[in-house]
Structure 1
C-alpha cells in the first residue's frame, strides 16, 4: 500500500513561472529554463510512491532539490504543479485547517539542528508535539517517557538540552517525533551534523526503533553510504530531477546513468551487500520423508556433494553428505533421520558481506541463510569470492 504518492510535482522559484512550467513540460533542462526565464526549478516533475512502513531515502548533492522535495510533502513549501497524496488524500488541495490536522496527526519532521527548546527539560521537549495536539497532561507524559525509554534517554528526562551531547540531542529530536505517534516521519539531513561514530550509532538507533514501530520514514541525505545502510529504497536526485529509484542492490548493480555510476564508484560493496544478495538456492531434502537413494539422486542431478536437511515449512535440521547417504543406504535405512549432521553454521539474511567473510572462511560446509527462522538460501565460498572479485575488477576497470 502506498502511504505517500507524488505525481508530477514541480517547484519553481522566481518570476515567469508559467513560462518555466511550459519548458518543464517540454523536457527542457534546469539550466536552460534558468537561462530563458530567470526562474529556478527546485523540483522537476517528480513522481514516486512510498510504501507504508518503509524507510525511503532521498539523496543527492547540495542543490539537487532533495530538501525542497521533502518540504513539499507537508506543504512547508507550496508545490507549483502536481499532486501529493497522503493516505489517498490530496494534500496539495487541503485548506489551512485540514493541513494543520495532517501536520499535527500524520506527519512529524526531524531537522538537522534538532529544534529543541533550550529552557525546557528533555521530557518537556519530547512532550511538545503531543501538547500541541491537545493530548492530556498525564497521557502525553506516559507517551513521552516511553519514547525516551525506547531511545535510551529516560535517565536524562529532567536534564536540559545543553547538558546533552550533540548525538543525544539528536536522539531526543527523534524520540519527540516518534512520541507524537505520527504515521510519517520526515528526516531532513537529521544526522549530518554528527561525528562519524555518533552518526553510525544514530543510524543503528533508527533501524532498531523502526523494527518495533514500523513508521513510514522519508530520510534526506547527501551520503550514499548512509542511504545504502538505512534505506529500503533510495531515490537519487540531480538538478531537481529524480534520476533513479531502487533498492541499494538495484542501484549498485544497475546504475541508471553515468551520474549514478559516479556516485557508487567508490562504494565498498562488502559493507553494502548482504547474505541475501549473494546467496544461492539451496538443494534440500526432507529427512523424515526421503531415503538415502533419493538424497544421492538429488546430489547427482544437482552436481553437489551435500544437501541441506529441511522439514516443512523450511525448518533447517542440518546437512547430509554423499558419504552420509551411502552409509545409511548400506545400513538399510528407509529415511535420512539418522544421516543428518547438525554442525552447520547459519547467518541472518541481512548480515553484511564483510561480516559473512570470516564466518564462511572458517566453515567446512556451506553456510545456511535464515530469515524468520526459515531457510532461504545458502552461501558457498566460491560465490562469495566471485562477488568480491567482481568488485575488485570493477575498481580496476574504473581506474584504467
Structure 2
C-alpha cells in the first residue's frame, strides 16, 4: 500500500516559473533554460510511489534535485506543478493551518547539520516537536526521555549540544523526530556529516529502530553504499530528472545507464547480493514417502546424481542415485531411511558468506527460506558470475582466475543433481 504518491512534480526556481513551465514540459535542457530565462530547473516530471513501512532512498550527486524533492513532501518548497499525495490527500492543496498540523503530526524531519538549539538541553531539544504541538511538560519530557533511551542517550538529557559528539547530536535529532510519533520520517543527508564508523553505527541504529517501528522513511543520500544498505527501494536523480528506480538488487544488476554505472563501480556486490540471487529453481524434488523405484527412475531420466528430499515444504535432506539403487535392492517402501543431510544456507545469506562456504567445500548446497522451506539449489556458476566484478576490482585488471573462484566453480549444483558442465550447451 502506497503511503506517498509523487505525481508529475516540476520545480522551476525563478520569478516567472509558470511562464517557463511549458518549456520544461517540452524537454528544454537545464542549461538552455538557465541561459534563456535565468531560471533554474530543479525537478522535471518526477513520479514516485513510496510504500507504507518502507525505507525509500533518493540519491544523486550534488545538484541532482534530491534535497529539493524531499522538501516538497512537507512543502518547505512549493512545486511549480504536480501533486504530493499522502494517504490520498494532496499536500499541495492544504491551507496554511492544515499544513501546520500536517507538519507537526504526520511528518518529522532529520537534517544533515543536526538542527539543534544550542541554548536548549538535550531533553528540551528532543521534546521540541511536542512543545510545538502543545503537549503538557510532564508528558513531553516522558516521551522525549523514552526516545533518548531508544537512541542510546540515556543519561545525557541534561547536557547541551556542544557537549556531545556529532553522532550523539544526530541521535538527539533522531529522537526529536521520533518523539512526535509522526508516521513519516524525512531524513535529508542525515548521516553525511558523520565519520565513517559513527555513520555505520547510526545506520545500524536506524535499521534496528525501523524493525520495531515500521515507519515510512524517505532517506536522502549521495552515498550508494548507504543507499544499498538502507533502502527497500532506491530512486536515482540526475539534473532534476529520475534516471532509475527500483530495488537495490535491480539497480546493482541492471544499471540503466553510464551515470548509474558510475555509482556502482566501487560497490562490493558480496555485501548487497545474497543466496537468493544465485539459486536455480529445482527441476526435481522428492518426498520422504517417494517410492525408491520412482525416485531412481526420475533421477536416471534426467541424468541426475542426486535430488533434494522434502518433508512438506521443508528441506529434509538429499537422496543420491546410489542410495536410491540400494533402497530398490532392499525392497524399501520409501526413501526416508536413505536420506542424507544436505548443507543449506538461508536465502538472506550474503554472497560473502556463501562464497566463504563454497571455497571450502565441493558439496551441493541448498537454499532455504522461512521455516527451512526449500527454494532451490545454489548455483556455483551464478555465484562466480555475480561476484566477478568485485573480484576484478581487487585484482587491478587481472582476470579473476584465482584459486578461490576455480574452487567455487569447479563443481556446480545449479540444475539440482547435475554438474553445470553437464547441463549447459
Same fold (TM over 0.5): yes
What are the superposed Cα offsets for residues 187-237 of structure 1, whole Å, 9 maximum, x if unpaired?
A: 100110111111112122222221221111111011111111211111111
Larger C-alpha radius of gyration, 1 or 2? 2
Alpha carbons 1:8, 1:83 under 8 Å: kept: yes
CA distance in 2: counterparts of 1:156 and 1:295, whole angstroms: 66
Q: Does 1:17 align with 2:17?
A: yes
Q: Distance in 2 between matches of 1:324 and 1:172?
A: 63
Structure 2 distance, partners of 1:302, 1:213, is: 49
Q: Provide the residue aligned with 1:278 in structure 2.
A: 278
Counterpart of 1:341 in structure 2 is 340
Please name the residue that 1:353 is paired with. Answer: 351
- Give the structure 2 partner of residue 379 of structure 1: 378
Aligned to 1:240: 240
How far apart, in 2, do the equivalents of 1:370 and 1:137 lie? 51
Q: Distance in 1 between matches of 2:329 and 2:182?
A: 65
In structure 1, the partner of 2:420 is none
Q: Return the offset for 1:278.
A: 2.0
| Structure 2 residues not aligned, in runs of 5+ | 399-425
CA shift in 2, pair 1:153/1:310, >3 Å: farther
Q: CA, structure 1 residues 305+212, in 2 after alignment: closer, same or farther (shift >3 Å)?
A: farther
Q: Deviations over 1:41-89 (max 9, x none)?
A: 1111211111111111111111111101100110011111111100100
Relative to structure 1, the CA distance from residue 239 to residue 286 in structure 2 (aligned partners, 3 Å threshold; closer, same or farther) is: same
Change (3 A) 1:333 1:223: same
**Distance across 1 between alignment mates of 2:393 and 2:296:** 39
**Aligned residue for 1:96?**
96
1:61: which partner in 2?
61
CA distance in 1, matches of 2:71, 2:238: 17
* Residue 389 in structure 1 maps to residue 394 in structure 2: no
Deviation at 1:261, TM superposition (A): 2.3
Structure 1 residues 296 and 41: alpha-carbon distance in aligned structure 2, compared to 1, 3 A threshold:
same
**Matched residue SS, 1:154:** coil
Aligned-residue offset at 1:376: 3.0
Secondary structure in structure 2 of the residue aligned to 1:108? strand
Deviation string 1:259-318 (CA, Å, 9 cap, x unpaired) is 222222333322322222222224564533323334334434555433333223x32333
> Which stretch shifts more, 350-359 or 2-11?
350-359
Q: Tell me, which stretches of 5 or more residues in structure 1 are unaligned? A: none
What is the distance in 1 between the residues matched to 2:361 and 2:90? Answer: 55
> RMSD value over aligned CA atoms?
2.7
1:5-34 CA-to-partner distances (Å, cap 9, x unmatched) read: 111111111133223201111111111111
Distance 1:316 1:381 in 2: 20
SS of the aligned residue for 2:134 comes to coil
> How far apart, in 2, do the equivalents of 1:376 and 1:140 lie?
49
Secondary structure at the counterpart of residue 287 of structure 2: coil
Match of 1:174? 174
Determine helix, strand or coil for the equivalent of 1:84. strand
Matches within 5 A, 1:151-230: 151-230=151-230
User: Is the contact between residue 283 and residue 308 of structure 1 (CA under 8 Å) also seen in structure 2?
Assistant: no
Structure 1 36/212 Cα, relative in aligned 2: closer, same or farther at 3 Å?
same
1:287–1:340 CA contact under 8 A, matched in 2 = no
Q: What secondary structure is seen at the aligned counterpart in 2 of 1:156?
A: coil
- CA 1:10–1:319 in structure 2 vs 1: closer, same or farther (change >3 Å)? same
Give the aligned partner of residue 131 of structure 2. 131
In structure 2, how many angstroms separate the alpha carbons of the residues matched to 1:336 and 1:96?
A: 73
Contact 1:274 1:351 (C-alpha < 8 Å) held by counterparts: yes
Alpha-carbon distance in 1 for matches of 2:154, 2:309: 47
Identify which range, 211-220 or 117-126, moves more after superposition. 117-126
Counterpart Cα distance in 1 of 2:174 and 2:74: 18
Contact 2:344 2:368 in 1 (8 A): no
Taking structure 2 as the reference length, the TM-score comes to 0.85
Between 1:85-94 and 1:387-396, the stretch displaced more is: 387-396
For 2:318 and 2:246, locate their aligned partners in 1 and report how far apart those are by CA, in whole Å: 36
CA distance in 1: counterparts of 2:362 and 2:275, whole angstroms: 18
Residue matched to 1:85: 85
When residues 325 and 173 of structure 1 are mapped into structure 2, their CA distance, relative to the original with a 3 A threshold, is farther
TM-score by length of 1: 0.90
CA pair 304-267 structure 1, distance change in 2 beyond 3 A: farther
